[in-house]
Copies of this chain bind each other. A is one copy, B any other.
Amino acid sequence: MRGPLVAVVGGSTCTPQEAEWAAAVGRLLAERQAVLLCGGLGGVMAAAARGAKQAGGLTVGILPGNDPADANPDIDVPLATGMGEMRNALIVRAAGAMIAIGGGWGTLSEIALARRIETPVVGFHDSFTAGLDIPRVQLPEEAVRWALEQARRGKV
């Protein structure tokens, strides 16, 4: 087995700031031998995958549709589920830890489900996660360090 699976979740469109965070997170995860798990599409998912590939990492995309060709070009393993948004629950379940960057209702549902099933989740200090009782960080380095510590601790 490779390093732990760390999910990066966020919107399929995102701000330049969010894309920058996501790319840095992807790169740092790859440098530490973690496998990047994401939804396989655009925005935060694409930026994280691009960062991971630039650092030689491994990327897995769990897609909502039936066609693996929907994945962004930096996904090594495009898993087409045909389950629509229900595939979010697969990401949260399979991840050893999760990093949330920006996002909307879909990302919120993933964060909340992560808390519910005890997948460790960390968010950035952005307005979106402001009201949620989850650990928050300001830098990609902190997010990755936290996620890897949690993932190595193991889930039940």
Contact = CB atoms under 8 A, between A and B. Distances in A.
Contacts of A5: 68, 77-79
Contacts of A80: 93-94
Counting chain A residues whose Cβ lies within 8 A of the other chain, the interface size class is 35 or more
A85 B89 contact: yes
Interface of A: 1-2, 5, 35, 58, 60, 66-69, 71, 73, 75-86, 88-90, 93-94, 96, 104-106, 108-110, 112-113, 115-117, 131, 154-156
Given A2-B76, A86-B89, A94 B113 contact: no
A104 B78 CA distance: 28
A34 to B, nearest CB: 11
